[in-house]
Amino acid sequence: MRSNPRSDLGRRREQEPERKKTSPPAMGLIKMISGGSTDGDFNRARKSRSRRDCMEVEGMRRNEAVIGFGPEDLKGINLPHNDALVIQDRVANYDILRVFVDSSSSVNVIFKDAFTQMDLQGYHLEAIETALFGFAGHVVYPEGEIVLPLTLGSQDLKKTVMTPFTVVDSPSSYNIILGRPAMNELRAVASTYHQKIKFPVGARVGEVRGDQPSSRKCYMEAVQADQSKTKREGKRARVDEVGGRVVEKGEVHFVAEEEQEVVEVGPGQQIRVARDLHPSTRELTGISPLISEHQLNILPGSHPVKQKKRHFGPEKDKVIDEHIRDLLNAGHIREVQFPT
């Protein structure tokens, strides 16, 4: 008896598990390092790399160790934490501190400050054309690329691979960033929670423990550098015109009394201004309140804030009293009595 192909197809569909709905694709990664010559600058280099990867997979040893993490890997870790994985490794026979393990980076990066301290005679720095993206949100053009020996582990549980490093002239708290190329060459697995990298060494597993104090120090340095940069950029953006010249706002200017003159601003009201004050600024002193007046918009029903009296010591109190007396005599402030 022949079976009906359509009924067999329907039966197989009923026996198949329900397919999971695919989630929408991610919009992208923020501030990750991408680009570079991971697969070569040109198509020929990419094809060569692809063939080499296929040969490595086919020739992989079947007795390679299985890597895992457990509670014993948390010994000596300060918990809870959100620390990045920062380790020490050996590159071209140099012990390098502050090595940031970043699996989202498409390249291994060695920063120029660290690169110039290494005597790398016998290694060739090759020019590359591909830019990098992700360094503080802007594009960086590398100094070049160099293939160096990278060693992880110690004693008999260590592993050395030849891997490319992209030399970047950019400020950083780190000396090196280990990206996917190095991690894949080592067949390594990183756990930021366990603060460890593990990698197969034959049938055994080698490991490198992260340096939490160094990780936190690098983080603080990066935050402070970003804050300083923001302040510098903000200060450059805030400019004003004084005496016909452009100056930064917040800059304090002292004008000698002989360089000042008295200006009438109202009936019986005078102020002193600099003689070389720009005309556009000088006109502001004579604007009538009917045209323009500054007010403080206070919500109805708001009450004054009452603070406890503070004592600064006899010497400071004397200086404060003198400043208050000067302001009172100049008419800039007046005493107000509150009922409470």
| Residue position matching structure tokens 């800059």 | 251
Q: Is residue 275 part of a domain?
A: no
Burial of 144 (0-12, 13-18, 19+ CB in 10 A): middle
Residue 290 covered by a domain: no
Residue 154 backbone dihedrals phi, psi, to 5 degrees? -150, 160
In a domain, 203, yes or no: yes
> What pLDDT is recorded for position 288?
61
Instruction: List the one residue out of 38, 42, 34 whose CA is nearest residue 132.
Output: 34
CATH of residue 62's domain is 2.40.70.10
Q: Give the pLDDT of residue 212.
A: 93
Q: What is the pLDDT of residue 73?
A: 93
* Selection from 243, 287, 234 nearest residue 265 by Cα: 287
Per the structure, the count of domains in the chain is: 1
- What is the predicted pLDDT for the residue at 186? 93
Q: Identify the pLDDT of residue 27.
A: 44
| Segments forming the whole domain that contains residue 205 | 34-225
Q: Could you tell me whether strands 204-209 and 196-201 are parallel, antiparallel, or unpaired per DSSP bridges? A: antiparallel
- Give domain status of residue 271, yes or no: no
DSSP state of 126: B
Distance CA 206, CA 65 (A): 10
Is position 111 within any domain?
yes
Residue 179 near residue 166, CB atoms below 8 Å: no
> Please, are residues 90 and 215 in contact by the beta-carbon 8 Å criterion?
no
Q: Phi and psi for 14 in degrees, rounded to 5? A: -65, -35
**CA gap 41, 46 in Å, rounded:** 8
> Residue 13 has what pLDDT?
46
Tokens 């079976």 correspond to what residue? 3
Confirm whether 233 is domain-assigned. Answer: no
In a domain, 140, yes or no: yes
pLDDT tens, per residue, the chain with 340 residues: 445 544 554 554 455 444 444 555 544 433 445 455 554 554 555 555 555 555 455 445 567 788 999 999 999 999 999 999 999 999 998 999 999 999 888 899 999 989 999 888 889 899 887 888 775 556 788 899 999 999 999 888 999 999 999 999 988 889 999 999 999 999 999 999 999 999 999 889 999 999 999 999 988 888 887 777 666 666 555 555 444 445 454 444 455 565 677 777 667 777 777 777 666 666 565 566 666 677 777 788 887 777 787 788 888 889 999 999 988 888 888 887 766 5
- pLDDT for the residue numbered 136: 56
Residue 294 is assigned to a structural domain of this protein? no
Query: How far is Cα 327 from Cα 317, in angstroms, rounded to an integer?
Result: 15
